[in-house]
Structure 1
Amino acid sequence: MSEELDGARLDKTVKQHFDLPWGKARAWIDTGKVFIDGNCVSDQAFAVKAGTRIELRMSQPKKRPEPKLDPEAVVYFDADLIVVNKASGVMTVPHPESDEEETLDRLALDYLRAKDPKAASNRASLGVVHRIDKDTSGLVVFARTYAALKALSEQFRAHSIERRYLAIVHGRPKNQTIETRIARDAGDGLRGSVPEGTVNKVGEELGRRAVTHVELVEKLAGAALVSCRIETGRTHQIRIHLSEIGHPIVGEKVYVRSFAGEAIPAWRTMLHAEQLGFIHPGTGKPVAWSEPAPKDFQKVYKSLKIKES
């Protein structure tokens, strides 16, 4: 290898040395085709020293890349399902209007294929039972078999799934149950609640029933930590309901509606799916998990707690 590439990353070295596009250079590294002084190296960031021998062995069997999902994010998995603690900033599943490829369902499937390679269910995509927003952190379950998908989906439809979220909101909401009908367009171009009996041009009733139970957990400076248990799982349900009662979530950028107070700054919506419980589709026994809010959520909470004290 030439002196000018001394200390360069392996992916850059392969790209320039063999005159390859970035994608192909990285793919050959990931699949175990790049050898340095006779040893296979699959770390793209590996620093290559001048004078080493670098070669491509195209006949090498493909090496599956290491899964990109943080192993600590996997809360539980078995032959029927996988439960993951999703980080904020990751989409749960692909969206038709986004070209994002590293969605949680795909990352989780890659993890399972690496850690449980003999499972027959690895040949298919994971079954999507529910979703949480890209900015929201917390617990998500995927089904690994059709039977598990069917059983879990039935529980979600029956509203028997236990789902509890933590949110930091503006103001001090009262303990209450919010029940509305949420429509794709509440009249202002955004999802929101519409009066019962509202119909469209062809007489179809707009909106679907949405129920959120709100409990005040702790008073903070100009804000509050609340717990939200949802019976239904409408898109953006908690964000919409909290905004409509005058207490939008800190960091909320869309559903602020007529909120006239001073917005508390945050880099994302302060919403975390803390608890998840259901009847296991394989054993028939109740299972439940709880995950604390991540560091970014805790940082905002602690800041507002200090100001309140």
Structure 2
Amino acid sequence: MRFSLSVTAITTATTTKPLFSDLSPRLRRATAMSQSHPIPPTATESPISYPVPLSPPLTPLSKQVELARAMSASSKSSAFSLSRSHVVYEDEWLVAVNKPPGVYCESVLASAPRVVLGDSVDSGCTEAVPELHLANRLDRDTSGIMLITKLHKVASRLVKAFTEHKVRKTYIALCVGLAPKWETIIIRSGHGRSKFGAWRVYGAPDVGRTLPGGSVVRDMETSFEVLSVNGQLKSKEPIKHGKDNENIIVVEEKSSIGDNETKDVVLVRAYPRSGRTHQIRLHCQYLGIPLRGDVKYEGVYEWEGQTYDYHALHAESLSFEHPVTGVPLMFQAPLPAWAAECCPNEIPPAFSSNEIHMG
């Protein structure tokens, strides 16, 4: 009987001994944490699936040329000074200017007070210094219309107008590639940064999906119309945009338009609905008509015995309701020389006469 009781006592003592009591305090804590917080599956067990970009990666030539262009632009921008000759329109709330290529937007803004205030800048007068802001931005090598506001409240209203797609924008682009069979087209796709940081075209079904780095694919839409091919004007009348007379491409796979030995000079007008970075350049690349000089997106760097310092893209016009007065405005920048050279005849206007309201 004593033996039986002794065994029972030992058994009881054994079962009530604290778990992991033979382990060191550090190992006990680690073991307890591993049980209360199970280790998640490794990446190899459940890999994250990212959207696949549908436009090609950057070429080695583009990196070399872009570096040289950035250095040149830095020097040119530091010496740049906005003058009255750049001003397209000005009132007490905003000023529209024609930005030259190869100059950063920040340099345009930095020299704007000299134009807005005139001699008072040199005299040190600070009583009526305006609150200058950029209402829109252009790529370093893109020329054309830029808006600078003079008050915070005007800036916020215009930024909202751009965000809500209440500002109509047109661009002129000189492209080199196989002449398209369409006269007008709408292209809808996704837009985002690849894992290497470059902007790329993504499929429309990928909009909203997460990209490497945490950003998401955003929607991107541009309408195009062909103005001329190899110097031959396509039409002298502005094209009416609508669902009935335009082709629509919804991007879901890589472009089927490969590199072709036939190279035509194609002048197009672009109407971007969204405002994504490098939008027109990316869509022209996808359509097989990259911009001349746009080495980042497969555009020719050397063409007919000449190399080009900039891509051929010009912000032609902006139209919107004045953020203060509500009056309809439309600003149009003078066309660059390359547009006139590739199309000797008069380029048709972006809008019909009853749509144009000059400030």
Q: Same fold (TM over 0.5)?
A: yes
Give 1 or 2: higher helix fraction.
2
Q: Match for 1:227: what amino acid?
A: R
Q: Please tell me whether the aligned partners of residues 89 and 331 of structure 2 are also in contact (alpha carbons under 8 angstroms).
A: no
Q: Match for 2:187: what amino acid?
A: I
**Displacement, 1:113?**
2.1
User: 1-side partners of 2:166 and 2:187: how far apart?
Assistant: 18
Say if 1:261 and 1:283 are closer, same or farther in 2 by CA, change over 3 A.
closer
User: Could you give the per-residue CA deviations for residues 220-253 of structure 1, whole angstroms, max 9, x where no partner exists?
Assistant: 1611110001111111110011001111011111
User: 2-side partners of 1:270 and 1:163: how far apart?
Assistant: 17
User: 2-side partners of 1:203 and 1:108: how far apart?
Assistant: 36
User: Could you give the per-residue CA deviations for residues 156-196 of structure 1, whole angstroms, max 9, x where no partner exists?
Assistant: 011110110000112323321111111022x6652012122
Q: Please tell me whether the aligned partners of residues 84 and 139 of structure 1 are also in contact (alpha carbons under 8 angstroms).
A: yes
Q: Please tell me whether the aligned partners of residues 197 and 205 of structure 1 are also in contact (alpha carbons under 8 angstroms).
A: no
Aligned length: 223
Q: Please tell me whether the aligned partners of residues 75 and 83 of structure 1 are also in contact (alpha carbons under 8 angstroms).
A: yes
- Is 1:278 the counterpart of 2:320 in the alignment? yes
User: Could you give the per-residue CA deviations for residues 31-54 of structure 1, whole angstroms, max 9, x where no partner exists?
Assistant: xxxxxxxxxxxxxxxxxxxxxxxx
Question: Which segments of 5 or more consecutive residues in structure 1 lack a partner in the other structure?
Answer: 1-66, 94-102, 303-309
Identity %: 27
Aligned equivalent of 1:57: none
**Displacement, 1:145?**
0.4
Q: Match for 2:282: what amino acid?
A: I
**Displacement, 1:110?**
2.4
Q: Please tell me whether the aligned partners of residues 90 and 96 of structure 2 are also in contact (alpha carbons under 8 angstroms).
A: yes
1:122 to 121, 129, 142: 129
Task: Give the TM-score, by structure 2 length.
Answer: 0.56
User: 1-side partners of 2:292 and 2:190: how far apart?
Assistant: 24
Q: Match for 1:144: what amino acid?
A: K
Aligned equivalent of 1:157: 163
**Displacement, 1:122?**
2.1
User: 1-side partners of 2:227 and 2:144: how far apart?
Assistant: 18
- Is 1:192 the counterpart of 2:200 in the alignment? yes
Say if 1:191 and 1:121 are closer, same or farther in 2 by CA, change over 3 A.
farther
**Displacement, 1:266?**
3.1
Aligned equivalent of 2:31: none
Aligned equivalent of 1:220: 230
- Is 1:206 the counterpart of 2:216 in the alignment? yes
Task: Give the TM-score, by structure 1 length.
Answer: 0.65
User: 1-side partners of 2:144 and 2:300: how far apart?
Assistant: 29
Say if 1:120 and 1:274 are closer, same or farther in 2 by CA, change over 3 A.
farther
Aligned equivalent of 2:185: 176
Question: Which segments of 5 or more consecutive residues in structure 2 lack a partner in the other structure?
Answer: 1-79, 232-263, 345-359
Q: Please tell me whether the aligned partners of residues 316 and 334 of structure 2 are also in contact (alpha carbons under 8 angstroms).
A: yes
**Displacement, 1:206?**
2.4
Larger Rg: 2
Report the secondary structure of 1:90's partner residue: coil
**Displacement, 1:262?**
8.6
- Is 1:254 the counterpart of 2:296 in the alignment? yes
**Displacement, 1:136?**
0.8
Q: Match for 2:198: what amino acid?
A: L
Report the secondary structure of 2:105's partner residue: coil
